[in-house]
Amino acid sequence: MSAAAADTGAHERIMAEAERIEALGEAAEREARDPVNQPTINNWLEAMGNTNPRWQAGEAPPSMAQVWTMYGLGGKPPADDPLHGMMKVLTDEGYTAVLGTNCEQEYRRTLRVGEQVRVTTALDSVVGPKRTGMGEGYFVTSRNTWYVDGPDGAAEVVATMLFRVLKFIPKGAAS
Amino acid sequence: MTTSTLPLTVGDTIPAWEVPITPTLVVSTAISTRDFQDVHHDRDIAQAAGSKDIFVNILTSTALVERYVTDWAHQRTGHWDTEVRGIAIRLGAPAYPYDTLTFTGSVESVEDGVATLEVTGAVSLGDHVIGTVKVAV
């Protein structure tokens, strides 16, 4: 793959795809594999050394919000996933490397044991190309929204996350 | 949920917390966050990808920031009912095994019932995380 920097059409293709994927809005909805559950919380508490007794009494730690909907071992994003779709566009243009740069989570409330969580993914923005210490790349920001459905069927937002990665051509990569 | 008053004043500092990073910590935290990316548990693959070693995953950086703040709030109030509203982190140097992750922090603002705490987690290579934590007060 030739370096994208030398390809004047690459930026236009990347931004056109970014616009298309951003317009999808919240997509690729997924259910958590398991409801919020105490054994999974306990494994996390042990690993983190977290002794807060609230997390043994029916509530889940706020920063576990993302854990419930992780893909797991061998799990794959759905074909329409906006983040992975955008990553593939950039990989195909030569921006092969990836580095997480920002993670901003907001918690509306703690989750409770027994609740079933689902998540959507949206592409928030694509900014670039930028020269960085790592190499030339694009900053790709996605937005996740976690929901719990109430007894009346109404969807409640319980947490959100903005996640930004730098998708870049490693410095020194052959052009 | 009742929330006891967390007595915070702008400029208050949070005592430093040192976390020794071990291979066991990196692996057990990655797996407990259901993050099976190989760079968090397989040193050969991590090194082949250009890393010095396996390294702490982002969900764990966030979880340790959360623990740093809530443990401190517990020490100050004797209660565990601090409500964390948000954690925003910027990621820097990787946290590798055999390094120490040292958290420091301070109260940046208190307004409208929400305190914003600035937290930094540093390793020998520089800052691993720089971020803010919002807690209800």
- Within-domain flag for A55: yes
B57-78 confidence digits (pLDDT tens): 999 999 999 999 999 999 999 9
- Within-domain flag for A68: yes
| CATH code of the domain covering residue A136 | 3.10.129.10
User: Does residue A168 have a pLDDT over 60?
Assistant: yes
Q: What Rg value do the Cα atoms of chain B yield, rounded?
A: 16
Chain-chain contact of A54 with B81 (C-beta, under 8 angstroms): yes
Q: How buried is B73 (Cβ within 10 angstroms: 0-12 exposed, 13-18 middle, 19+ buried)?
A: buried
B99-132 confidence digits (pLDDT tens): 999 999 999 999 999 999 999 999 999 999 999 9
Check residue B3 and give its pLDDT.
47
Chain B residue with CA closest to A52: the answer is: B80
User: Does residue B42 have a pLDDT over 60?
Assistant: yes
Residues of B in contact with A172 (CB under 8 A): none
Q: Compute CA A7 distance to the chain's CA centroid, rounded to the nearest angstrom.
A: 29
Chain A residue with CA closest to B85: the answer is: A107
Predicted TM-score of the model (pTM): 0.94
Q: Compute CA A147 distance to the chain's CA centroid, rounded to the nearest angstrom.
A: 15
Chain A residue with CA closest to B135: the answer is: A107
d(CA B123, nearest CA chain A) in Å:
17
- A78 vs B1, more confident: A78
d(CA A63, nearest CA chain B) in Å:
6
Mean pLDDT of chain B: 94
Strand order in the sheet with B84-91: A27-31, A117-132, A135-149, A155-170, A97-107, B84-91, B126-136, B114-123, B100-111, B13-20
- Within-domain flag for A63: yes
User: Does residue B34 have a pLDDT over 70?
Assistant: yes
Question: B71 in helix, strand or coil?
Answer: helix
Check residue A119 and give its pLDDT.
97
Q: Quick one: fold of B13-136?
A: Thiol Ester Dehydrase; Chain A (3.10.129)
Please tell me the total count of domains within chain A: 1
Mean pLDDT of chain A: 93
Confidence grade of residue A1 (pLDDT, cut at 50, 70, 90): very low
Q: Average pLDDT of A76-81?
A: 89
A113-161 confidence digits (pLDDT tens): 999 999 999 999 999 999 998 899 999 999 999 999 998 989 999 999 9
- Within-domain flag for A175: no
- Within-domain flag for A165: yes
Tokens of B34: 């259901």
Half-sphere exposure of B21 (CA within 13 A, CB side): 26
- Within-domain flag for A154: yes
Q: Average pLDDT of A4-28?
A: 89
Would you kindly state where each structural domain of chain B is located, as residue ranges?
13-136
With beta carbons less than 8 A apart as the criterion, state whether B40 and B24 touch: no
User: Does residue B1 have a pLDDT over 50?
Assistant: no
Q: Quote the DSSP letter at residue B99.
A: S
> Which range of residues forms the domain containing residue A155?
4-170
d(CA A3, CA A174): 8
